[in-house]
Amino acid sequence: MHNRDVLISEVGPRDGLQSIKRTMPTEAKLAWIAALARSGLAEIEVGSFVSPKLLPQMADAAEVVQGALAIGGFCVAALAPNLKGAERAIAAGAQKISIPVSASRLHSLSNINMSPEQAVEQVAAIVALRDGLAEPCPEVEAGISTAFGCTMEGQIDEAWVLRLAEMLAEAGADSINLADTTGMGNPAQVRRLFKGLRLAVGRKAGGAHFHNTRGQGLANAVAALDAGVTTFDSSLGGLGGCPYAPGATGNIVTEDLVFLLEGMGLRTGVDLDRLVLAREALLDGLPGETLYGHLHAVGYPKGFVLPAGEPR
């Protein structure tokens, strides 16, 4: 196993795919996931156990989880919005379950038809389900979405975000991460909220999930690093966007994030060359799809040395 300073959780096969209209065939998803795994990524969120009626892109989530487990070598994570989804994720063999809990009441009601408090109850029910298993396997992570702002409510009260984090910790979540779902966060806010998160929930303080909607994603990642965050969600090629916001990009770009971190002397355990190559597998499954990022286009700067010591 690699020695790592930072854990990158690749969320393209879930967050990226669910944010675009097209559906990637199951075989192509698995070929892409295998290419991602070859780069050394230690965690990949491979799908979402939402109702296939709401997200036909994710109808094959169980099959993808099983295929990902067969590829092996990384933690197979999946999103579940509620107890029913978690039951399906566990049955499929997911090793980690992420449950989104929106800090914005309006977003929560329109997205999952539950208040934030009801969503916390779902987390408690999922933890109870997990704890009752013969082998209490999947790690349960709660992600506070719209933690840095909401397209419907605008600003979100920071004290409320931290209170919600405490409620999720009390409900038994193993870790609580903060998500800038709408790309509204700025570095000062990110630093404040992640420091607050650590004070509120201690060792259960989890990772950062940033979208690059307004180009502030990597600046926010550096601010989160300053606040002690060591786990980051990102997607290859920044796949994604929002069907309702033309011009909105997806998550922060994994290749650029790894380049940034490694350049700062932080080890990610990810082979950048292989990671960039995985873009081809992604485009094989979604020909012509818009991808983002800089590193793949311009390459390494002269004399760039990775922390592992291999000069480029």
Q: Which residues are catalytic?
A: 242
Residue located via tokens 């996931």:
33
Of 15-23, 89-97, 271-279, 288-296: span binding Zn ion (CB under 5 A): 15-23
Spatial contact of 50 and 81, defined as CB atoms under 8 Å apart:
yes
Of 7-15, 105-113, 252-260, 289-297: span binding Zn ion (CB under 5 A): 7-15
H-only helix segments in the chain: 17-18, 26-38, 61-71, 83-92, 105-112, 116-131, 158-170, 187-201, 217-226, 254-263, 272-285, 295-298
Shortest Cβ distance from residue 306 to Zn ion (Å)? 28
Q: Of 18 and 66, which CB lies nearer to Zn ion in the complex structure?
A: 18
What number of chain residues touch Zn ion (CB under 5 A)? Answer: 1
Of 10-18, 55-63, 282-290, 303-311: span binding Zn ion (CB under 5 A): 10-18
Spatial contact of 260 and 4, defined as CB atoms under 8 Å apart:
no
Q: Find how far residue 95's CA is from the centre of its chain.
A: 15
Shortest Cβ distance from residue 126 to Zn ion (Å)? 19
Q: What secondary structure letter does DSSP report for 57? A: G
Q: What secondary structure letter does DSSP report for 253? A: B
Of 14-22, 79-87, 115-123, 260-268: span binding Zn ion (CB under 5 A): 14-22
Q: Of 24 and 239, which CB lies nearer to Zn ion in the complex structure?
A: 239
Spatial contact of 284 and 292, defined as CB atoms under 8 Å apart:
no
CA distances for 112 relative to 80, 108, 172, 277, angstroms: 11, 6, 21, 36
Shortest Cβ distance from residue 301 to Zn ion (Å)? 30
Shortest Cβ distance from residue 45 to Zn ion (Å)? 10
Q: How many CA atoms lie within 13 A of 175 on its CB side?
A: 18
The answer to whether residue 15 forms part of the interface with Zn ion (CB under 5 A) is: yes
Q: Which of residues 264-303 bind Zn ion (CB under 5 A)?
A: none
Supply the DSSP string of 62-86, one letter for each residue. Answer: HHHHHHHHHH-SSEEEEE-SSHHHH
By rule CB under 5 A, what string of x and - marks binding of each residue 120-159 to Zn ion? ----------------------------------------
Shortest Cβ distance from residue 95 to Zn ion (Å)? 20
Q: Of 15 and 255, which CB lies nearer to Zn ion in the complex structure?
A: 15
Catalog residues that contact Zn ion under the rule CB under 5 A. Answer: 15
